[in-house]
Each structure stands twice: as C-alpha cells, then as structure tokens.
C-alpha cells in the first residue's frame, strides 16, 4: 500500500525515499542543465540527490532566483551562489532548452497530455486550478517529467479537461517519465503511450492498473523500482532532507 | 520633472473598460496599495494583464474585472487564489489563458512597439487550440510555424518597487526584477508606488546601478506607500505568510469575507496598515 516501507537487511526504507531516488534517476545522463524541479519537494530532493551523486554537472536552485554552488538541503538558504536565474531568465531558458522540468499535473492522459488549469468547462469550470503556468512551453521545448504523489483514476484519466502541457501526440519535446507514490511510468512505446516501467517495493501491478483510469501498457516482466544505495540513503536522511519534508508528500 | 501623486489621484485616473497591467508576480511585490484603492473606486469592466496573484484576487472580489489575461493566478505558498477561483467558477470573469513565456513575449512586444513576437511556446496546447484569437506565423527562412503572440498593450500599468525618486526613477531590491520594466514600457501611463522615496543622488546608496529597473521616461506618477506591497513580498523580500493565510481563510465564506473587508479594506491605505498592525498584535 501507499504508505508502507520495506526492510532491506537491517535498514528500513520509506516509500518517500524510493520516490526521491526514482526522481533522481530521471536526471541520469542530463549533464550540465538546469533542474527545474519545483513541482514538489520530492522532485527537488531528487534533483539535489542526483547532483550530489551521479549527475554532478546539474544546476540546481534554491527554489528562488539563485543557482546554488552546492545542492542545498530542502528548505535551507541558498548558501554560496553560482548563478542568477530570475523568472525572465527561466522563461528564456525554456527556449534555449538546457533545462529539465517537473510538472505536478491534476490530470494526465495516456499520451502525457496534462492539465493544471481547471476541471470542467473552460467558461465556467467546476474547479479553477492554477492556470497553465509554463506547462505549454515546457513540454514543447524541454525534457519534462511528472510527479504525482497520489496515483489515482482521478489523476490518470482517459481525457484531460484542458491540455496545459502537450503530450506525445501533440508535439511534446520529450516526456521523460512519471514518478508516483506507487510506480514509475514512461512513454517508451511505439505510439508514445504510457507504460508501466517499475512498481515500488510493496506495490503490485494490479494495484497500479486499478489506480490508473486508462489501459496501461504492461511489459511482460515489471521490475521493482530500485532501492536507494546506502550512500543515497545517508545523503537523504542526514544532509539533503534532515527534517524529512519528503514525508509530507508521501506518508511514511 | 516632479511626478509625485497621491494614491487617490492615481486610481482616480483609471476609467471603466480600460486595460490595466499589474507588475510583480504571483504573491510577490504586487502594488497592493494601488490595487486596494482601486477596489474602492466605482471603476468596473477592467481587462487585467498580470502574472496573477492577490492583485487579481482582490479585484475579482470587488467585481472589477471583466477579463483576465494571464498565465496563472497563485499565492505561491498557497497554490490557488481563492477569489479568482470563485469568480471563474461563478462564470463572472473571462480568462484568456497564456503560457508564461508567451505572456512575456506579449509584454516584450508591447514594450517595443512590435505587433507580435513569434514563439513555439504554447504550440499544440489548449492555450493555442482553444483560443481562436491567437494566430500563427510562418518562419520565412525555415518554414516552421510559430505562435504570433500579440502585443499586450495596456492603458495603465501599476508597479511597486522598493525605492524611487520624485522623478519616477525606480530601483528594486531582492533577487528578481520580475517584469516591471516591461509593464511601464507597455502602458500609455505607468505609475510607480514605492516603499521609500529617496533623493535622486541617493538611489545608488540603495543598490547597484543594474537594479535601477524603471526610468522616469516611462513613468507618469510616483507615490510613496510604505508596506504598500503587503501582504505580498516587500521591502525585505519577505511575505506576510500569516496574514496571507488569514486572507485565504476569510475568502472561504461570504460572512468571513464581509468581516475581512469591513475590517481591512473599506477605509484608506493608512487605515489598512493600522488595522494590519492591530491584527498582528492580537496574534
């Protein structure tokens, strides 16, 4: 279930920690680009973890206009600064392309079209959300990943009410993948449809299928999402998120 | 060249049906004193152009907006703007939705006399597909189709910066200029409110020359409004999170909002600031 941890040897690993590592993995191979991981605490932690381990070239922010000299702990001040990235520079950088962004959609469909704008009709929505923010440009021009802390059929829908971010069938640049509290998914099928890549330890494939509101492409063998290494676990717990803010998004 | 005005003179020059641009971003460095005062005028049917936040919320609550042109409305630490949500869910305002980068190009175009600027940001999304007014343009060199973002011209713009002189030169403190220079250039008349008026010769005692974001050539009037961006980020680049939460909670019910309005918004700016001080002492 969503909240259970797993025990490996003597160490208990929480679901939030598995999610943070899965987010970090999305940056593998990105090199020297900006990790725009503002869609939640878990992707921000993942970006800083990737930078502290296997992607040292990544540029990460303090959540504000500063590129920090080192990956800083969640919620901590920037410390030493290596660059300036006010909103206008972020928006130009979208066009430049050296940026990998995370979105936190309220709805997403099988092709990765996503909605952060409103639920219901455009003229008089049932629920007005944020508005499209930078999702249209981000998905058209930058590698994009998605963070969904509660995997459910309300989020994974046949058809989104408004296409804020474009899917693989609408000209997306590159949808890297989706990390949820249950699983990792990607779009690595010939038609660009969503596919189950791995389930987190303790989650079953039928559970994910049931929590997804459209038919999911299933490989013959669905592996488990990898566990944090001892080094990663140590970094998460003692350095990058000592206050365990990650547990606010994914319950332990 | 003195351009000092009062808050009442500035908002008194805004007429019903005008297009109003508002600087800042979300719940950051918004010209809230000017917005509060505008809510207490008879003006209505405004088209508002804004990276929306509490400014949009207050104007929605006061029934001033006919149409919002924006990429979002948010309070940052509180994701959703309650009055904007209500206005939309009641069908009370029209919302022309842009991508953030498209929106910036609209400001750049308007600031520089261009009819449009081309961008791929927005292509294929419903921001493009569900807005019949938005046209595309073909790259004459490579043939690529791009969105032609129309210039976001405005009749009037309000911005709030930390320091200004009486001529209208203005300087920002903190890490982000947002887009306030573009708003002042994109408007027929732009007004600056500031935390503190200083002598022209003292501007560079406040920050580096690069922080002089707004030139007097673009400014029709200046007013000193200490704490005038409250409850969004202000002089120290911090937000009054507790008061923002109070605003959000008050917006949840008609009675709660009526009480909030009576206590904080029905008087002038000095009354607002005094009421906020009293509220804070009670906490």
Q: Convert the pLDDT of each residue in B142-151 to its tens digit.
A: 999 999 999 9
SS3 B86: helix
Chain A stretch 110-139, residues whose beta carbon is closer than 8 A to a beta carbon of chain B: 117-118, 122-137, 139
pLDDT, mean over chain B: 97
User: Can you read off the two tokens belonging to residue B225?
Assistant: 């409004």
Which among A66, A130, A140 has the least Cβ separation from residue B79?
A130
Residue of A nearest to B122 (CA): A136
Chain B residues whose CB is inside 8 A of the A122 CB are 95, 130
Query: Nearest CA to CA, how far is B71 from chain A (Å)?
Result: 5
Query: Nearest CA to CA, how far is B61 from chain A (Å)?
Result: 15
Q: CB within 8 A of B132, min separation 6: which ones?
A: none
**What is the rounded distance in angstroms from the CA atom of residue A104 to the CA atom of residue A148?**
6
Are B179 and A87 inside 8 Å of each other by CB?
yes
**What is the rounded distance in angstroms from the CA atom of residue A103 to the CA atom of residue A114?**
9
Does pLDDT of B44 surpass 50?
yes
Best of A84, A131, A159 to disrupt the B interface (most B CBs within 10 Å) is: A131
Q: What is the dihedral of CA A140, A144, A147, A148, to 10 degrees?
A: 40
pTM: 0.96
Are B176 and A86 inside 8 Å of each other by CB?
yes
- Burial (Cβ within 10 Å: 0-12, 13-18, ≥19) of residue B66: middle
| Contact by Cβ (8 Å): B52, B84 | yes
Q: Cα–Cα–Cα angle for A194, A198, A204, nearest 5°?
A: 105
> Tens place of pLDDT for every residue, chain A, 252 residues?
344 567 665 679 999 999 999 999 999 999 999 999 878 899 999 999 999 999 999 999 988 899 999 999 998 998 999 999 999 999 999 999 999 999 999 999 999 999 999 999 999 999 999 999 999 999 999 999 999 999 999 999 999 999 999 999 999 999 999 999 999 999 999 999 999 999 999 999 999 999 999 999 999 999 999 999 999 999 999 999 999 999 999 987
Q: What is the pLDDT of residue A63?
A: 83
What integer is the mean pLDDT of B185-209? 98
CA distances from A159 to A109, A167, A185, A189, A191 (A): 6, 11, 18, 19, 17
Residue of A nearest to B175 (CA): A65
Which among A128, A134, A135 has the least Cβ separation from residue B88?
A128
Q: What is the pLDDT of residue A3?
A: 45
Q: What is the pLDDT of residue A189?
A: 96
Best of B124, B144, B236 to disrupt the A interface (most A CBs within 10 Å) is: B124
**What is the rounded distance in angstroms from the CA atom of residue B247 to the CA atom of residue B76?**
14
**What is the rounded distance in angstroms from the CA atom of residue A93 to the CA atom of residue A166?**
18
Confidence class for position B249, pLDDT limits 50, 70, 90: very high
Helix axes B241-250, B269-282, angle to 10 degrees: 100
Are A128 and B178 inside 8 Å of each other by CB?
no
Residue of A nearest to B100 (CA): A134
Q: What is the pLDDT of residues B217-243, one digit of tens each?
A: 999 999 999 999 999 998 787 899 999
Are A140 and B121 inside 8 Å of each other by CB?
yes
CB proximity A93 to B under 8 Å = no
CB proximity B161 to A under 8 Å = no
Q: What is the pLDDT of residue A37?
A: 83
| Contact by Cβ (8 Å): B131, A122 | no
What integer is the mean pLDDT of B19-36? 98
Q: What is the pLDDT of residue B240?
A: 96
């Amino acid at each position: 279930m969503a909240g259970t941890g797993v025990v490996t040897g003597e160490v208990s690993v929480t679901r939030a920690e598995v999610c943070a590592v899965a987010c970090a993995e999305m940056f593998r191979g990105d090199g020297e680009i900006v990790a725009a991981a503002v869609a939640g605490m878990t992707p921000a932690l993942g970006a800083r973890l990737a930078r502290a381990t296997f992607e040292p070239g990544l540029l990460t922010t303090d959540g504000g206009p500063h590129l920090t000299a080192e990956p800083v702990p969640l919620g901590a001040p920037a410390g030493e600064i290596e660059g300036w990235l006010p909103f206008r520079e972020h928006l130009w950088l979208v066009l430049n392309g050296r940026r990998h962004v995370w979105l936190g959609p309220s709805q997403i469909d099988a092709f990765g079209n996503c909605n952060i704008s409103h639920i219901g009709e455009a003229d008089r929505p049932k629920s007005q959300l944020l508005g499209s923010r930078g999702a249209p440009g981000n998905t058209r021009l930058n590698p994009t990943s998605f963070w969904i802390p509660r995997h459910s059929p309300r989020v994974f829908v046949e058809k989104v009410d408004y296409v804020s971010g474009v899917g693989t069938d609408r000209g997306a640049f590159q949808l890297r993948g989706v990390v949820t509290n249950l699983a990792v998914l990607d779009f690595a099928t010939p038609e660009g449809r969503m596919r189950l890549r791995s389930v987190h330890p303790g989650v079953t494939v039928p559970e994910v299928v049931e929590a997804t509101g459209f038919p999911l492409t299933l490989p013959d063998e669905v592996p488990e999402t990898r566990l944090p290494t001892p080094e990663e676990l140590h970094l998460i717990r003692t350095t990058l998120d000592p206050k365990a803010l990650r547990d606010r998004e994914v319950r332990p | 060249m003195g351009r000092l005005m009062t808050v009442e003179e500035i908002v008194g020059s805004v007429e019903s049906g005008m297009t109003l641009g508002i600087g800042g971003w979300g719940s950051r460095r918004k010209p809230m004193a000017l917005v509060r005062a505008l809510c207490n005028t008879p003006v209505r049917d405004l088209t508002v152009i804004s990276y929306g936040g509490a400014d949009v919320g207050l104007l929605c609550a006061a029934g001033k907006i006919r149409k919002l042109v924006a990429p979002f409305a948010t309070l940052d630490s509180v994701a959703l703007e309650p009055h904007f949500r209500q206005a939309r869910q009641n069908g009370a305002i029209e919302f022309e939705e842009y991508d953030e980068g498209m929106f910036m190009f609209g400001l750049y175009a308007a600031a520089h006399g261009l009819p449009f600027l081309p961008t791929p940001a927005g292509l294929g999304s419903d921001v493009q597909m569900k807005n019949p007014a938005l046209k595309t343009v073909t790259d004459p060199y490579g043939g690529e189709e791009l969105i032609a973002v129309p210039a976001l011209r405005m009749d009037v713009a309000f911005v709030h910066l930390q320091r200004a002189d009486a001529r209208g030169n203005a300087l920002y403190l903190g890490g982000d200029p947002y887009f306030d220079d573009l708003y002042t250039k994109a408007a027929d008349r732009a007004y600056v409110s500031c935390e503190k008026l200083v002598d022209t010769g003292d501007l560079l005692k406040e920050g580096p020359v690069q922080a002089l974001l707004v030139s007097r050539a673009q400014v029709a009037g200046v007013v000193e409004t200490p704490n005038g961006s409250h409850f969004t980020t202000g002089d120290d680049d911090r937000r009054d999170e507790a008061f923002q939460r109070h605003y959000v909670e008050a917006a949840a019910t008609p009675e709660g909002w009526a009480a909030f309005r009576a206590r904080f918004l029905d008087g002038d700016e000095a009354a607002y600031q005094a009421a906020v001080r009293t509220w804070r002492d009670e906490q």
